[in-house]
Amino acid sequence: MAMTTTPEPTELVIGLVSVSDRASGGVYQDQGIPALQDWLKSAITTPFRVETRLIPDERATIEATLVELVDTVKCHLVLTTGGTGPARRDVTPEATLAIGTKEMPGFGEQMRQISLRFVPTAILSRQVAVIRETSDHAALVMNLPGQPKSIKETLEGLKDDAGNQVVAGIFAAVPYCIDLIGGPYIETDAAVCKAFRPKSAIKNKSSATPLQ
């Protein structure tokens, strides 16, 4: 009897969610989604499609949006921005944890380590990351900060004046994570963010730094 294999996805789909009462209500223009789009375009060399959502700080709405992007739209990666502080209306982490099947605490830990290089109030940030799995699909869902500068710093990491990496950004680990959950192979521009994979997982030997 012939064995059947699941074909590798051919299109990378990324969901971007900005969580803000005022931006979703038209009080001011959202800056989170444009900042995410600009950074992803600069960092990812693999063709990808983006799905965007601008929603208020309502836990039920956040949960429903994340579920829709993963289960229906079939996003492989979902990035949220906003709603991760200690204020009463900040419930993005709770909503994210509620829809996840596996927690990925290392992403949030590293984001806070990066932000602490700039401000002591980084310890008030509550970003989390999870994997959401269904019977035929899985996605990585991550909370990011709300400010464009902080978004870039946490994704890309910190470099010195000579361009050497001082602190690794979280996105360096994202392509291999997507590999492990059955998503498309993501390649990046090493000048922006060099993807890290084990030697055995690298397809284009010049596209990623192997894990030690």
pLDDT tens, 12-67? 999 999 998 777 777 778 899 999 999 999 999 999 999 999 999 999 999 999 99
Domain map (residue ranges) of the chain: 12-210
Higher local confidence (pLDDT), 56 or 4: 56
Distance CA 61, CA 95 (A): 9
Higher local confidence (pLDDT), 7 or 124: 124
Overall average pLDDT of the 77-88 stretch: 96
pLDDT tens, 167-195? 889 999 999 999 999 999 999 999 999 99
Angle at 108 between CA 33 and CA 172, to 5 degrees: 70
pLDDT of residue 75: 98
Overall average pLDDT of the 92-115 stretch: 97
Residue with tokens 């064995």: 3
pLDDT tens, 108-152? 999 999 999 989 999 999 999 999 999 999 999 999 998 999 999
Cβ burial of 63 (10 Å; 0-12, 13-18, 19+) is middle
Overall average pLDDT of the 64-74 stretch: 98
Binning pLDDT at 50, 70 and 90, where does residue 8 land?
Answer: low
Residues constituting the chain: 212
The H or E element spanning position 23 is helix 21-24
Identify the CA nearest to 105 among candidates 143, 58, 155. Answer: 143
Overall average pLDDT of the 191-210 stretch: 81
Cβ burial of 17 (10 Å; 0-12, 13-18, 19+) is buried
163: left (phi over 0), alpha (psi -120 to 50) or beta: left
pLDDT of residue 155: 96
Domain 12-210 sits in CATH 3.40.50.720: no
User: Could you give the 3-state DSSP secondary structure of residue 162?
Assistant: coil
Distance of CA 156 to the CA centre of its chain: 11
Report residue 6 as tokens.
């699941």
pLDDT of residue 4: 46
- Strand partners for 139: 132
